[in-house]
Structure 1
């Protein structure tokens, strides 16, 4: 059936053979065997290639439906085997990756060496699409206002906007800070249309800070944020979840000032009543992440 369809698409024995990864004689043999089975001629050969006969034209729609049905069946079988076996497909936002996967995956990979975990970073529209595609077993992100149909949210970690600095920053060694002491600091800018930018703009408006110094470099890549803060010249108002990989090691410091800016909890979405053993094992590890501070979460060495 595949030979029949491919030959109709390309109208060339040699091109069809190349597309299917077989030799030209093997391709000709496939067509000849099908013609012998059906006792009809399917293609007419000429110097520029082949053309389908009336019999082939009538058979082609059926052949395409057979191939489509076979591919769908193979996909379903492979998916079921993955669910019952050792594959977990994850979509993760910056918050989900920093707060959950960074903490759990190293030990999980040691404890479950035969489980394959694939991770795709999603943001914005890609996150919305992740819920409608049959491509992910777990989606690690913040709790959404509306729970997508067929998915259940499991809360793992509270989150908030916090002020973060590098270890070399003059304020990083302070044990107590008043929020007004941050007025003259130099701030790392946040990307527009993000919760961090919204929170920072709200901070400036509420405190009446009109002349705050800001570094005009904006990124949604946590590693770049870390590198900018590492030098010790700037502060950044950022979700704690995004900076956990560096807060947990002490490479960055959360300044002891109450910003009073809670965020929706970080956790994971799972499909209701639809998870294999590997997915359930990883979900249990994700649920084990809890607490309010890095050391309480067991993140520090």
Structure 2
């Protein structure tokens, strides 16, 4: 009930200018600097923030020695406001494209693992076939992207097979995947074949981020076999960061085979021949069950056709996969 009241107040009495200023103040940590960026006087900016706080009934900022910073409630509210402003910018870009005669838009969500092995190469082929379509790509975790799809903010999401989906959505498996262990190309075990996972006792592990499927596999497979495993104070999916940390002595990481081409390409990282008794959930696409948009159908047709060769390549070796002939 309170949420509905606050939303009503924002709609009736709130101003986009106030929301823009709110984000600027949070970024600058200073009302004077934010006011200058917004082309406002400091007194007008202070008054605008005070009106917003009065409207919401909460204190958004608190003073400290070097300026102001968001309160706990302010931080949460500002994170949502950032999303609103981002959506507003996307709407403006859509209108600008429409005025230029480009009215077809395909809004795609993708998790990082899907982006490397599936989304990027498929989108490249799609663009060549449909250069008139404007593509908007949003990268995030599946748990955040799928609700956006359900709300109509996205047309399709490339991700791993979710454990549960609403009846209005369905998952189409496109690419099988599994996990592999990588290390520096100078690692002492790099030339050994059929390495038991126990041989990595004492290794320093770069963790997969919490909340992703690979982390569940790490916890159930690696930690079960190596309960005293040493964990580096880093959880990352960024390939440059991962490659850098793997150069530390004794460092190893569990990664999806689907991104292995990007990890191994530079020659500083190699695959360790450790057999793992688990596969990852397949990569694929989540879309609406009924009345699938025509652009999504065209995109999925390309994905089905061009990832068949990729699946074979992934089974043949650790050097990634070809997505097209």
SS of residue matched to 1:184: coil
Q: Are positions 1:271 and 2:295 aligned together?
A: no
Offset of residue 249 of structure 1: 6.9
**Pairwise CA RMSD:** 3.6
Partner of 2:214: 196
The correspondence of residues 1-301 of structure 1 with structure 2, limited to 5 A, is 86-123=104-141, 125-207=143-225, 209-229=226-246, 233-247=250-264, 252-287=269-304, 288-290=306-308, 291=311, 292-293=314-315, 297-298=321-322
- Give me the whole-angstrom Cα distance separating, in 1, the residues matched to 2:230 and 2:222: 11
Whether contact under 8 Å (1:158, 1:266) holds in the other structure is: yes
- Give me the whole-angstrom Cα distance separating, in 2, the residues matched to 1:185 and 1:92: 32
- Give me the whole-angstrom Cα distance separating, in 2, the residues matched to 1:118 and 1:162: 31
Rg (Cα) greater in structure: 1
- Cα 1:114–1:172 change in 2 (3 A) is farther
- Give me the whole-angstrom Cα distance separating, in 2, the residues matched to 1:112 and 1:172: 44
Offset of residue 279 of structure 1: 2.7
- Give me the whole-angstrom Cα distance separating, in 2, the residues matched to 1:193 and 1:145: 13
- Give me the whole-angstrom Cα distance separating, in 2, the residues matched to 1:251 and 1:87: 39
Q: Deviations over 1:59-115 (max 9, x none)?
A: xxxxxxxxxxxxxxxxxxx9xx9xx96421101112222221133233443443333
- Cα 1:281–1:168 change in 2 (3 A) is farther
Task: Give the length in aligned residue pairs.
Answer: 224
- Cα 1:145–1:201 change in 2 (3 A) is closer
- Cα 1:180–1:93 change in 2 (3 A) is same
- Give me the whole-angstrom Cα distance separating, in 1, the residues matched to 2:183 and 2:251: 7
- Give me the whole-angstrom Cα distance separating, in 2, the residues matched to 1:115 and 1:236: 38
Offset of residue 197 of structure 1: 3.2
Q: Deviations over 1:114-159 (max 9, x none)?
A: 3321111122642342232112111101111223222222111112
- Cα 1:236–1:299 change in 2 (3 A) is farther
- Cα 1:296–1:228 change in 2 (3 A) is closer
- Give me the whole-angstrom Cα distance separating, in 2, the residues matched to 1:154 and 1:168: 40
- Give me the whole-angstrom Cα distance separating, in 2, the residues matched to 1:133 and 1:111: 28
Normalised by the length of structure 1, the TM-score is: 0.61
Offset of residue 234 of structure 1: 1.6
Partner of 2:50: none
- Cα 1:253–1:110 change in 2 (3 A) is farther
SS of residue matched to 1:216: strand
SS of residue matched to 1:259: coil
SS of residue matched to 1:146: coil
SS of residue matched to 1:217: strand
- Cα 1:295–1:134 change in 2 (3 A) is same
Q: Deviations over 1:143-180 (max 9, x none)?
A: 11223222222111112232122434333344442322
Whether contact under 8 Å (2:258, 2:320) holds in the other structure is: no
- Give me the whole-angstrom Cα distance separating, in 2, the residues matched to 1:129 and 1:239: 24
